[in-house]
Structure 1
Amino acid sequence: MALIPSSEINIGEDIEVVSQPTLTYYWDTANKRIIGYVDGKQAMKQAIYKIIQTERFQYAIYDWNYGIELDGLMGKDPLFVSAELERVFTEALTADDRIISLSDFNINESESSIFVVSFTANTTEGDITIEGVVVNV
């Protein structure tokens, strides 16, 4: 009688990867209400906007990988901020497994310490263009 089991276990042979649906509540930002549900590209677009509107480490309800770190850019030189925004956005959004990469960044300083950011998010739902995100640092 052996103390260690002798049967072979084949781990990973029968594992099937199943993608989770993106179905979520529809957040009507204009009227500040939740109305119905949304899925697919619209749900991904909503998730992107929600991530970039949530400061990382500020809310106990989210884990530490959720949100964006813009507080560290406040009061910094505009040239530094402009250079860092692409990195900060990429780091925040690619923490979500559904977002593969970001491309086509366009960052413009509209006024002192106010930047307008546009980019394309390459997601599991397809490419999503995000335009006119205002960042006030």
Structure 2
Amino acid sequence: MALSPLAVIPEDEAVTTEDFVQPIKTYALNVETGEMGGMIDGIDAIEQFIYKAIRTARYRFAIYDDDYGSEIDALIGQDVSPELLETEIPRAIEDALIYDDRILAVRDFTLTREADKLFVSFFVDIDNDTIPVEVALDGV
């Protein structure tokens, strides 16, 4: 078999990688306690990414690149109008998630305020599935 890039590889010898999907295994993190244990894969790994990306302040930790995290922390504790929150929270969440290749869309945001908490519900579209997400933001 020739190693020249100009050599034609017969179709029966060609290798296709279209059907191979890389696993997305990661360490399991209990977002309530911060404890790690075991491994997760698939939708569970994507859900964990969603919660971590939203809760991690962008540009604050040198271990993450500038795409990772959200800018929600800039809104928390600030005296901003409800109208601004309804605009900026969905934008900040979508901006934190959409750069990931596994996420196709972030849509249908609903914001509900209870005392000093803001509950944000939305849907994340991935290949062949939709993940419903609800996040509680304190001090908003």
Report the TM-score when normalising by structure 2: 0.77
Q: CA deviation at 1:125?
A: 6.5
Cα pair distance change 1:135/1:85, threshold 3 Å: farther
Partners of 2:118 and 2:33 lie apart in 1 by: 25
**1:104-123 pair list within 5 angstroms:** 104-111=108-115, 114-123=117-126
Q: Residue 33 of structure 1 corresponds to which residue in structure 2?
A: 35
Partners of 1:67 and 1:41 lie apart in 2 by: 19
- Tell me the number of residue pairs that the alignment of Structure 1 and Structure 2 aligns: 128
Where in structure 2 are there 5+ consecutive unaligned residues?
8-14
Q: Residue 84 of structure 1 corresponds to which residue in structure 2?
A: 88
Query: What is the letter of the counterpart of residue 124 of structure 1?
Result: D
Higher RCO (CA 8 Å, separation ≥ 6 residues): 1
Where in structure 1 are there 5+ consecutive unaligned residues?
1-6
Q: How well do the aligned residues superpose, as a CA RMSD in angstroms? A: 2.5
Report the TM-score when normalising by structure 1: 0.78
C-alpha contact (below 8 Å) 1:117/1:135 kept by paired residues? no
Partners of 1:33 and 1:125 lie apart in 2 by: 30
State the identity as a percent. Answer: 33
